[in-house]
Amino acid sequence: MSVTLGCRFAAASALPDALIQSHIDVLSPYQRQIEQKLQQFDPLVQEIFKQLDRYDLPDNLVLVPMLESSYNPQAISPAKAAGLWQLMPATAKRFGLKVSYQRDERFEIAPSTDAAIQYLAFLYRKFKGDLTLTLAAYNAGEGRVQRTLRASPNTPFHQLPLPRETQHYVRRFYALDSLINVSSLRHDNFQPILLFAGQQQWQKKPLIDLSPLPALISL
C-alpha cells in the first residue's frame, strides 16, 4: 500500500510535501520491521510516553530513538554519538550523565532516556514549541540553529542554510511519523518494574551492521 503525507502533520507544514514523500518512499519497505522493533521495546516506549507527558512534549518524539539508532542501546556513530538516543559526550555530560572510560551512561537505557528527554524539553521550550526547529537543534545543536535563524530571518525551514544532514534528519522524522500511528502505540498494560530488569552490560559497537534494521537516518 502506498503511503502519502497526510494533513495531520501541522508541524511539518513548512516543508513541501514532496520533500517528505521521498523519505516515506525510502522507509516504506522497512515499515514492518520498524513496527516489530517498537513492539520489542514496548516497555521502554511506554516509559518514554510517560516522560514526554511529564514535560508536555509531543507524543511523536517517541520516534527519535527509532530514527537515531533503531532502538539500539549499544550504537556508536562515527561522530562519537552513542546509545539509544545518540547523545554526544558534551550533551550527555551537560544533562547529568557520566561519560568516562570506566562508565558511559549513554549506553544505559534509564539515565540516557532521562537525559535525552530533558534535552528535548529544553530545546522545545527554547524554540517556543516549534517541533521542526527542536528536531533540527537535536541534530545540529541549538547554537547552530539559532545562528542560522538570525542570519536568515523569515526564511522557510527547508531553505535555511543548515547542514544537509540536518535537513535530511527533519524530513526523515516526519516521514517516519507518517508511517507509524504513534497514538496506537500507547496502552495501559505498562509494567514499569520490568522495564530495565533485563538490561545487560551492553557491548559498545559501531552503529553499522548491528541489527537487521539499521539506524533509519542512515538508510
The catalytic site residues sit at 68
In the block, cell 519497505 appears at 29
Q: CA 148, CA 82: separation in Å to the nearest integer?
A: 26
Instruction: Determine phi and psi for 9, rounding to 5 degrees.
Output: -95, 75
Q: At which residue does the C-alpha cell 502506498 appear?
A: 2
**Type of residue at 159:** Q
CA distances from 170 to 101, 126, 140 (A): 32, 17, 11
Residue count of the chain: 219
What is the rounded distance in angstroms from the CA atom of residue 162 to the CA atom of residue 144?
A: 8
Q: SS3 for 150? A: helix
Directed axis angle between helix 31-40 and helix 42-54, to 10°?
A: 80
- What DSSP state is assigned to residue 63? G
Q: How far apart are CA 143 and CA 141, in angstroms?
A: 5
